[in-house]
Amino acid sequence: MSSTVQARIYDDQLVIWNEGSIPHEIKDLKAPHSSVLRNRLIADICFKAGYIDSWGRGIEKITTACAEHGCPTPDFEITPTGIRVTLLPKFNMPSQVTPQDGTSQGTATAPVTDPLTDPVKKLLIAIGNGEKSPTELRTILELKHRHTFRKNYMEAALEDGFIEPTIPEKPTSQLQKYRLTDKGIYLLSNT
């Protein structure tokens, strides 16, 4: 390869790019896929040094580490010439604000608000560690009106990235279920 791994640090994200294609059968790195070693010697050295514990768990370990540290799930993008990983900062990271008197001396931490509304919090609790269909969730939450459930619970949780569909390519499938994202797991466990 002609280039090295590139890391770009911005105020609101870290972007890492690495040249090289991935196996053609892999379309989504977060979905289960086979582990294909490109360089067995390097992989063996990393294994013996303790950087990896088994083949094919890298993406899982990265997303788990981000969740454990309160960071959103990284964005893994497969490009024609390589792979780009975008890491975002912690949720509710306090921002620095200028004191109310307008002086430039010192900084104050902005207040952190609870990102979960009561309906969304109830939805996350109802989903728990599993996967549930909208009908199952309405039953658990004792909601009869589909429109209210969809607008106040599902759309809000999806929009904020707290839940995700199990069949994203078929959003209206009768088999569709929903599960918590790493962001949803983190926020639920810290409320």
Spell out the domain ranges in the chain: 6-87, 113-189
Residue range 126-165, pLDDT digits in tens: 998 899 999 999 999 988 888 889 888 899 899 888 899 9
Token code pair at residue 190? 């810290």
Query: How deeply is 73 buried, as exposed, middle or buried, from its count of CB atoms within 10 A (0-12, 13-18, 19+)?
Result: buried
In the numeric block, the tokens 């078929």 are attached to 170
- What letter represents residue 55's amino acid? W
User: Which of 10, 174, 189 lies closest to 116, judged by CA?
Assistant: 189
Say what the pTM is: 0.42
| pLDDT score recorded for residue 102 | 47
Range 113-189: architecture per CATH: Orthogonal Bundle (1.10)
3-state secondary structure of 178: strand
Q: pLDDT below 50 — which residues of the chain?
A: 92-114
Task: Say if domain 6-87 classifies as CATH 3.30.565.60.
Answer: yes
- The angle, 0 to 180 degrees and rounded to 10, between the axes of the packed helices 182-189 and 58-68 is 30
Chain-wide mean pLDDT for the chain? 77
